[in-house]
Amino acid sequence: MKAVNITFKFQDGQPAQTHVAAEGESVLDVALNNDIQLQHNCGGVCGCSTCHVYIVAGEQDLPEISDAEEDFIDRAENPRINSRLGCQCVVQGNADVVVLIPPQHFLGH
């Protein structure tokens, strides 16, 4: 199984962390497995916008964005051109990924 590194950066100023992600794991999976707070109100099925992240590098290793994902990103706080939903960012194991995590408020949908 291929593996890559995911580096998590944080808008709230916490130090960055780098963790190994196996092919088939999502950014959300790797965050939760390493006690990184990332909301996931729908449980990771592309049914909310709470796992919103910004992809700083490595987007070429991630699946194409779906229409459903785009719709939910439109409802996220401060969406940008590099916005994705962490649960939909399943690594393929070819390129390291750098993710910026927005502040987590633990409310909203």
Q: Which of 5, 34, 46, 98 binds ligand FES (CB under 6 A)?
A: 46
User: How far apart are the C-alpha atoms of 99 and 90, rounded to whole Å?
Assistant: 13
Number of H helices, E strands in the chain: 2, 5
Q: In angstroms, what is the minimal distance from the CB of 83 to ligand FES? A: 12
Q: Which is nearer to ligand FES, 47 or 79 (CB)?
A: 47
Residue type, 87: C
Q: Are 55 and 62 in contact (CB under 8 A)?
A: yes
Q: Which of 30, 48, 99, 101 binds ligand FES (CB under 6 A)?
A: 48
The residue ranges that bind ligand FES (CB under 6 A) are 40-42, 44, 46-48, 50-51, 72, 85, 87
